[in-house]
Amino acid sequence: MYADSHLVVTRTQEPVGLCFAGEIDSSNARAVAEFLSNGFAGVEDIHLDMSGLSFCDVSGIRSLIEAAESRQQGRLMLHGLPYLLQRVMAATGWANLPHLVVVS
Amino acid sequence: MTNLHEADRFRHEALLYANADQFVAGTVPFIRDGIRAGEPVLVVESVAKIEILREALGGDGEAVMFADMAGVGANPARIIPAWQDFVSRHEGATRLRGIGEPIWKERTPDELIECQRHESLLNVAFGRGRPWWLLCPYDTEKLDAAVIDEARRSHEFVTEGSHAEPSDLFRGLEASGAPFDAPLPQRGTALGRTTFGPNDLASVRSLVAHHADAAGLGAMRAAELVVAINEVATNSIKHGGGRGTLTVWQETSALICEISDRGRFAKALADRERPSESVAAPRGLWLANQLCDLVQIRTIPDGTVVRLHMRRSATQGLN
């Protein structure tokens, strides 16, 4: 589990992945990426439950992309992505990435 | 209307018209010449003007792409990317033509200033690129004389009646991209002013969310403003000396959030060039322009000021 003053990330087993609650900005984006990069050896796709993410800035999305691209295999699957974040990803040119998939 | 030499590079031309007949006389032959030469033609105009052109063009209108300036250019910083898309979509075309009328009488004073900035930045965006011809109609009956004077400074050519000539007042390519340091207009009493540092991003967000809610922006637009202000404040922390000052004004028509810091913007087009594919490329100011109704950026002697505007009702006048 990862926790700071405005974000809690917990591991999930079915499906294998992480559940986010709170806010990601430039103060914790790097920590999120590091947490994401550890502990998923041998796992193909990692499923991220984003429905409890009330805020995520550009650096947060960038960290997710970098974490996804640095893996040897598999993708990051984003579930329950809030509409605003979908809009931000579309506006920044990050809507259709091979390793970071928005699951509708 | 032009010789070969002029047609081999970007030609930015203002068309001064006083009524609908002059508008048609200045635009329709320009469009037809483009069609006849096999050039892609994109017209970004008001819905009313598009109707006029479609009627005047008859069957030729089929060959023209039209877009509503009220949508494309509501925030004028979104117009250059639209033209860049047009030019890059037609890679095989030797030449292209466009008509764009970003300035109309109902533009607010802040929008007008940013439209004028946009007209100048077109020279920076395209002046050294592929040859294409952009005609910018100006309504001399409805617009102030000062607006027409500025059009003569931002356009290399001006057409009046059927007569096109180089503009004596054109400020040139270099000056078109000079730092924009004309001070922003003074506003009334601020709702609040607060300084912030590296650990205060969450409070900046909640403060702006509070003011956006009180101003009645609606949940989605309030959330968009919060995203935008967070990016600008993050720039202050990362590139603007580590801290900044947030000021908020609520006016009848808009909520305005300003961030000032000690940073400097190096590139004239920094806020309106589509981000490169590189994941690391900056996206904050681009995003602010996609989410906000208006973004004003100024270089002042000791730093930078960025003002984000959100209209309090989503309506806008367009002539």
Residue A56 zone, left/alpha/beta (φ > 0; ψ -120 to 50; rest): beta
Q: Is the pLDDT assigned to residue B287 strictly greater than 90? A: yes
Mean pLDDT of B185-214: 96
The verdict on a CB contact (< 8 Å) between B227 and A93 is: no
The verdict on a CB contact (< 8 Å) between B287 and A92 is: yes
Complex ipTM: 0.96
pLDDT (tens digit per residue) in A63-100: 999 999 999 889 999 999 999 999 999 999 998 899 99
Can you name the residues that pair with B196 across neighbouring β-strands? B244
- Are residues B55 and B177 in contact, defined by beta-carbon separation less than 8 angstroms? no
The β-bridge relationship of strands B163-166 and B192-196 is unpaired
Can you name the residues that pair with B244 across neighbouring β-strands? B196
DSSP secondary structure letter of residue B62: G
- In percent, how much of chain B has pLDDT > 90? 87
Q: Judged by CB atoms within 8 Å, which residues 49-78 of A form the interface with B?
A: 55, 57-59, 62, 65-66, 69
State the burial class of residue A28 (Cβ atoms within 10 Å of its Cβ: 0-12, 13-18, 19+): buried
Cβ neighbours of A59 in B, within 8 Å: 234
Cβ neighbours of B224 in A, within 8 Å: 84, 87
Q: Which two tokens stand for residue B251?
A: 């006016």
For residue A74, the SS3 value is coil
Q: Kindly identify which residue of chain A lies nearest to residue B230, measuring between CA atoms.
A: A57
Give the pLDDT score at B314. 58
- Are residues B273 and B285 in contact, defined by beta-carbon separation less than 8 angstroms? no
- Are residues B169 and B154 in contact, defined by beta-carbon separation less than 8 angstroms? no
CB of B196 less than 8 A from some CB of A? no
Q: Is the pLDDT assigned to residue B316 strictly greater than 50? A: no
Mean pLDDT of A21-50: 94
CB burial readout A57-91, b (16+ within 10 A) else e: bbbbbbbbbbbbeebeeebbbbbebbebbebbbeb
- Are residues A15 and A75 in contact, defined by beta-carbon separation less than 8 angstroms? no
Which residues have C-beta within 8 Å of that of residue A54, sequence separation ≥ 6?
Answer: A22, A23, A82
What is the residue type of B312? R
Cβ neighbours of B234 in A, within 8 Å: 25-26, 57-59
CB of A99 less than 8 A from some CB of B? no
pLDDT (tens digit per residue) in B81-120: 999 999 999 999 999 999 999 999 999 999 999 999 999 9
Mean pLDDT of A15-38: 95
Q: Residue B203: which of A2, A13, A6, A67 has the closest Cα?
A: A6
Give the pLDDT score at B3. 46
Q: Is the pLDDT assigned to residue B280 strictly greater than 80? A: yes
Q: Is the Cα dihedral B200, B201, B206, B210 positive or negative? A: positive
